[in-house]
Amino acid sequence: MQKTRSKNLKLAIFSVLLLIVCNCGLAQSSSNQNNIDGLRIWPSPNSTRLVFDVTDTPTFTYFSLSKPERLVLDIDNTTKDFDFSTVANESNLVKKVRYSKAKNARSIRVVIELTKKLDKTVFALPPTTPYGNRLVIDFTDNSVPTTPQIVLDAKSSNNRDIVIVLDAGHGGEDPGSIGRAKSYEKNVTLGIAKRLEALIKNEPGLQAVMTRTGDYYISPNSRPQIARKHKADLFVSIHADAFTTPQPSGASVWVLSMKRANSELGRWIERTERHSELLGGAAEVIQDTASERYLAEALLDMSMDHSLTTSYDLSRDVIKHLGRVTKMHKKTPQAASLAVLTSPDIPSILVETGFISNPREEKNLNWSAYRQKLAQSIFAGIKQHFKSSPPDGSLWAKWKQEIRTHRVQSGESLSLLAQRYNVPVSQLKQVNNLRSDVVKIGQVLTIPRT
């Protein structure tokens, strides 16, 4: 009897220990299991990015299928809990994201249905504020141009438009700086850039091109390449500043430095540009982390000297007009080594429109009327520069050659001068910004050539 009780007790203890071990094993297995916490789909004109938020570093394989076009993604040790049907999808390249039968019980299979055959890049990204682990897939349609090309009529090549490329900083997976009220820099920059684009397009002789027209990511190195494709006369990158404390405020204008920045703010901007590349998950950064982009060979081009000089002169004009609508954090052009400014043959400036980390300026930057004022001031600076120094072959260069002036003498009237120079009175008033037909002795009028 005693032996039986002893045997039963041992069996009970063994069962309990076995249960504890099994439970521990299940808990450990569960804790090591990965999860999909979210999916974001970022469409752009000729590409789409899918970003899977995962709790741990993903282990994955993938392959393509045709007729119809699909990308099949196998992710190891991952649960099938996330509902892809809840994700907004405005892409014209990605039809649907769904599950399929997994290759084994511990993994999941995700199928991405595509509208056509696309180039693809798949890579994982480690945590970087404000994101955790991510699995990124870039689909690119190389059958269409990256951006619409500007075609100049050969007959009017000597009267061409001045091409200005506008770059709204950050975008898509890269929000830029985030204000205390959760404002994203990428939204502020796009809002200002679109307003500036409208002003430029309404000015005869000027043409605006946007590096991005929506909420999607473009790497800093790719943005000046867009300017080169369009043979731009000017590249303007729009940003909103930020700092570790809320006190700094005001706008500033930056040009390229051939050396690293020697100011604290400049070094901060250089670091945030590098962080933006990691946030955006640019595949070229992941694949070539040892690349030295600051002193690229292209910067040694002889045209860089002219480009830097023009950039500096232009930035002073922009600062003068910006200072009329907002406080200037720096009243002279600043220099930093930024990839977004590295076009050797194109004058390039970066405009920091204010500090989104400052609560008052964050509020202003979210105000539509204030964005319009900032756009108008930047436009006024650009216009002032090109009026005095228009590019060769442009319509504005032709206009500058045709300008004549006349100093009003006693007894002269606007109608008399219009008759003398064979110019309509209305045109005289428009060119000289006159609201009436009254002119004063000694007043210098611009006389357009007919």
Tell me the CATH number at 443.
3.10.350.10
Instruction: Say yes or no: 205 and 317 in one domain.
Output: yes
Instruction: Say yes or no: 191 and 72 in one domain.
Output: no
Q: Is the peptide bond before 424 cis (omega within 30 degrees of 0)?
A: no
In a domain, 147, yes or no: no
Instruction: Say yes or no: 362 and 273 in one domain.
Output: yes
| Residue pair 156/204 in contact by the 8 Å Cβ criterion | no
The pairing of strands 108-114 and 252-256 is: unpaired
Instruction: Say yes or no: 225 and 161 in one domain.
Output: yes
CA gap 273, 279 in Å, rounded:
10
The pLDDT score that the predictor gives to residue 303 is 53
Q: Work out the pLDDT band at 275, boundaries 50, 70, 90.
A: low
Instruction: Say yes or no: 124 and 233 in one domain.
Output: no
Instruction: Say yes or no: 260 and 207 in one domain.
Output: yes
Q: Work out the pLDDT band at 281, boundaries 50, 70, 90.
A: low
In a domain, 327, yes or no: yes
Instruction: Say yes or no: 52 and 110 in one domain.
Output: yes
In a domain, 397, yes or no: no
Instruction: Say yes or no: 373 and 271 in one domain.
Output: yes
Q: Taking the CA of residue 323 as centre, how many other CA atoms within 13 Å lie in the half-sphere pointing to its CB?
A: 13
Q: Work out the pLDDT band at 400, boundaries 50, 70, 90.
A: confident
User: Both tokens of residue 365?
Assistant: 């930057």
CATH code for position 132: 2.60.40.3500
Residue 58 has pLDDT above 90, yes or no: yes
CATH code for position 227: 3.40.630.40
Instruction: Say yes or no: 363 and 284 in one domain.
Output: yes
In a domain, 295, yes or no: yes
CA gap 342, 246 in Å, rounded:
30
Percent of the residues in the chain that have a pLDDT greater than 70, as a whole number? 79
The pairing of strands 252-256 and 334-336 is: parallel
Report, in angstroms and rounded to the nearest whole number, the Rg of the chain calculated over CA atoms. Answer: 30
Residue 328 has pLDDT above 50, yes or no: yes
Helices 303-322, 368-388: axis angle to 10 degrees equals 130
Backbone φ/ψ region at 411: left (φ over 0), alpha (ψ -120 to 50), beta: left
Domain count, the chain: 4
Q: Work out the pLDDT band at 195, boundaries 50, 70, 90.
A: very high
Instruction: Say yes or no: 207 and 258 in one domain.
Output: yes
Instruction: Say yes or no: 288 and 373 in one domain.
Output: yes
Number of Cβ within 10 Å of residue 62's Cβ equals 16
Minimum mean pLDDT among 14-23, 173-182, 421-430: which range?
14-23
**Structural domain that includes position 12:** 1-32
Q: Is the pTM of this model over 0.85?
A: no
In a domain, 61, yes or no: yes
In a domain, 395, yes or no: no
In a domain, 212, yes or no: yes
Q: Work out the pLDDT band at 59, boundaries 50, 70, 90.
A: very high
In a domain, 342, yes or no: yes
Instruction: Say yes or no: 239 and 343 in one domain.
Output: yes
Residue 150 has pLDDT above 70, yes or no: no
| Residue pair 357/243 in contact by the 8 Å Cβ criterion | yes
